[in-house]
Amino acid sequence: MTAHSIANIILVLGQSNAMNFSTHGTGYPGGWTAASLGSGYADVIWNVGHQAWEQYVPGTNSDPYAPTSDCWGPEAAIALAKRAIVPQRCTYIFKYAMGNTGLAKTTNFNWSPYSDGMAFTQFCDELQRALTNISAFRLPVIDECHWIGQESDTGNQADADAAMRDLPMLAHTIRSRFDAYDMKFIIARIKDGIGQDGLGGSKTAAIRAAQVACGSMPRNAWVDTDDLTASGGHYIPADVVRFGQRMFAVADSL
């Protein structure tokens, strides 16, 4: 196999804090220069609109689904950190994030694997197209899935309580559908106070408990966000970088 015959796929899924709405055109992670890419190395991202893999440029094509293309999320810091450990391979970022999308089946537009035609179904269809696009000349391996969201599930207690069942099922369904049984599943635990029920709310507490429980399962992990600063429900640019660095470190330790 040649040095670039394997495509290491990183999935970044969830709602607005995966996009991130607080990073409009500012605060890019250090190191995003042409020289930093290194010889023969490139980070690429799937652009849904173009139906193509493109060289990843934070703030330009870092939100390939929604129209707010000047946003970038924790994937910028994750990709930058990975350059030091996989310099001989390309890192392929597949980011699918939409604001106001919960995991519970009863939410308006949701990520539940039990729902048909919703966010999860659309994600699966798009990921299959992206994998097919590269399978002829590279072996696509889904290494990691970073799950960032569930603020929308704090709207009612039933949705929050469903996370204990739905979150492990989300990870299981992705692994089984895409033959990615060794995939790492990294969860950003929802920040206390960022949900609709405020600081210490029972709905946010239920989701946090489910995220910790799921993150304690084999090949899973969870990342703390409580000390990060959020404005208007979204992490500020400097802390999006810290957020991504933590997710990388946790994934790298599995």
The tokens for 225 are: 């966000």
- State the residue for tokens 């696509």: 140
pLDDT of residue 41: 52
pLDDT at residue 40, as a whole number:
47
- 199-227 pLDDT per residue, tens: 889 999 999 999 999 999 999 999 999 99
Tokens describing residue 28: 């890019």
* Residue 33: count of CB within 10 angstroms of its CB: 7
Question: What tokens were used for 91?
Answer: 């890192």
Token couple for 58: 């934070």
Instruction: Identify the residue whose tokens are 């890192």.
Output: 91
CB 18, CB 100: distance < 8 Å: no
User: What SS3 state is found at 44?
Assistant: strand
- Close Cβ partners of 72 (under 8 Å, ≥ 6 residues apart): 20, 23, 28, 58, 59, 62, 63, 240
Contact status, residue 107 vs residue 101, Cβ threshold 8 Å: yes
Architecture of domain 6-253: 3-Layer(aba) Sandwich (3.40)
Please work out, in degrees rounded to the nearest 5, the angle formed at the alpha carbon of residue 80 by the alpha carbons of 52 and 101: 60
Instruction: Tell me the C-alpha distance between 68 and 165, whole Å.
Output: 32
Task: Answer with the residue of higher pLDDT: 231 or 31.
Answer: 231
| pLDDT tens per residue, range 64-95 | 665 567 888 999 899 888 877 765 567 899 99
What is the pLDDT confidence band of residue 33, given thresholds at 50, 70 and 90? low
| Closest by Cα among 155, 178, 169, 156 to 220 | 169
Map tokens 């299981």 to a residue.
172
Give residue-wise pLDDT tens across range 133-171.
Answer: 998 888 899 999 999 999 999 999 999 999 999 999 999
Q: Which amino acid is at 167?
A: L
Can you list the pairs that 52-55 forms with residues at least 24 positions away whose Cβ atoms lie under 8 Å?
Answer: 52/133, 53/92, 53/130, 53/133, 53/134
In angstroms, rounded to a whole number, what is the distance separating the alpha carbons of residues 79 and 31?
Answer: 11
Mean of the per-residue pLDDT values of the chain: 88
Please enumerate in sequence order all residues whose Cβ is within 8 A of that of 31, keeping only pairs 6 or more positions apart, or say none. 80
